[in-house]
Amino acid sequence: MTRTWFITGASRGLGRAFAEAALAKGDRVAAVARTTSALEELAAAHPGRVLPVTADLTDRAQAFTAIGAAAEHFGRLDVVVNNAGLLSAGMVEEFTEAEAREQMELNFFGALWVSQAAMPVLRGQGGGHLVQISSIGGLGGFPTTGLYSASKFALEGMSEALAMEGAPFGVKVSIVQPGGYWTDLYSAMRTTTPIEAYAPLRAELEKQWAESSIDSEPRLAAEALVKLVDAQDPPLRLLLGSMVYDLAFDLAKQRMATWAGWEETSRAAEKAVPAPAPAPSPAPAEGQ
């Protein structure tokens, strides 16, 4: 059966690779971007199967309009991929209020607005698959990507709840956690104004990245995404890349060891007691 995809951030990077993979399978794509000029070639190569959609997803009304236009044009939506995002790098202390809010606006709120807009469509047709593109930053917080991780933690927490809320209606939700890919995420990265005190840490991080950074072709992530949406019983979470896979297990083991080491304190902090008696009503003032 031909499926209809709705893919945000589809003009470049992973989003473009996802769109091309869907089209290669004979599916249809509503390709969403802030500007759709980069999608004209894709639409021309697949006449009738690509709908370029212009939207600023940080605007809730535009997210709803984009979903509505795609559903009306194609008649249904089968796979909704929340891929649009940005990376702002800097130590937590360095972020201005505007920079912190900008990081959350697209990565979390933009995905939230698309999810809210898509759910009535998916519920109404009795099913569909919502795919949230998270990150290695959704596994843990790391120096210079604290606000990015915050946005992905928020996305994942919301999506876990949404998966349970959508299940009775046949709506599936998956969280995809990719590692490094050759996209323009880093070249388009925002950076904070550095505080000199962090210079030694920055230098050490740059050395680590130069020695151990591994990036892959976006095509490989797209192939994995197709396998995910083809699955009869897709997982809630999917790790993309050996480095992310190993890190996920390492972090889980560290957390479990910490929890176990503090088990006595954790359990001692809970003891069931009867509900407290309601406070007595204040006596009326004299003369009332």
Q: Which domains does the chain have, with CATH numbers?
A: 4-266 (3.40.50.720)
pLDDT by residue (tens digit) across 73-87? 999 999 999 999 999
- Looking at residue 109, its pLDDT comes to 98
Q: 28 with 5: CB under 8 angstroms?
A: yes
Instruction: State yes or no: pLDDT of 160 exceeds 80.
Output: yes
pLDDT attached to residue 57: 97
Q: For 78-102, what is the mean pLDDT?
A: 96
Instruction: Reply yes or no on whether the pLDDT at 215 is more than 90.
Output: no
DSSP 55-69: --TTSHHHHHHHHHH
Number of H helices, E strands in the chain: 10, 11
What pLDDT does residue 148 have? Answer: 96
Cα(159)–Cα(171) distance, integer angstroms? 12
The pLDDT tens digits for 167-200 are 999 999 999 999 876 666 666 778 999 999 999 9
Q: For residue 25, what are its two tokens?
A: 């399978």
pLDDT tens digits, 37-58: 889 999 999 999 999 999 999 9
Mean of pLDDT values over 85-114: 96
Average pLDDT over residues 244-255: 96
Strand-pair category, 79-82 with 190-191: unpaired
Helix, strand, coil content of the chain in percent (nearest 5)? 50, 15, 30
User: What is the C-alpha to C-alpha distance for residues 18 and 31, in angstroms, rounded to an integer?
Assistant: 10
Dig out the tokens for 92 from the structure. Answer: 């937590």
Q: Is the pLDDT of residue 288 over 90?
A: no
Q: Tokens 């880093």 sit at which residue? A: 186
**Greatest Cα pair distance in the chain:** 85
- The pair of structure tokens assigned to 273 is 């007691």
Cβ atoms of 31 and 5 closer than 8 Å: no
Q: What is the pLDDT of residues 217-246, one digit of tens each?
A: 899 999 999 999 999 999 999 999 999 999
Percentage of the residues of the chain whose pLDDT score is greater than 70: 95
Query: CA separation (Å) from 68 to 19, 42, 65?
Result: 19, 22, 5
| pLDDT confidence of residue 207 | 86
**Which pLDDT score is estimated for 186?**
61
Question: Rounded distance, CA 133 to CA 256, Å?
Answer: 26
Q: What is the pLDDT of residue 58?
A: 97
Residue 210: is its pLDDT beyond 80? no
Question: Residue 156: which pLDDT band, with cuts at 50, 70 and 90?
Answer: very high
Q: Is the pLDDT at 287 greater than 90, yes or no?
A: no
pLDDT exceeds cutoff 70 at 214: no
Q: Which residues contact 238 (CB under 8 A, 6 or more apart)?
A: 174, 175, 176, 177, 224, 228
Please state, in angstroms and rounded to a whole number, the distance separating the CA atoms of residues 115 and 60: 11
- End-to-end Cα spacing for the chain: 76
| Residue 26 clears pLDDT 80, i.e. is over it | yes
Active site residues: 134, 148, 152
Average pLDDT rounded to a whole number, residues 126-153: 96
Global pTM reads 0.91
- Under the phi-then-psi rule, with left for phi > 0, alpha for psi from -120 to 50, and beta for the rest, what region is 131? beta
pLDDT at residue 187, as a whole number: 60
Query: What local confidence, expressed as pLDDT, does residue 217 receive?
Result: 87
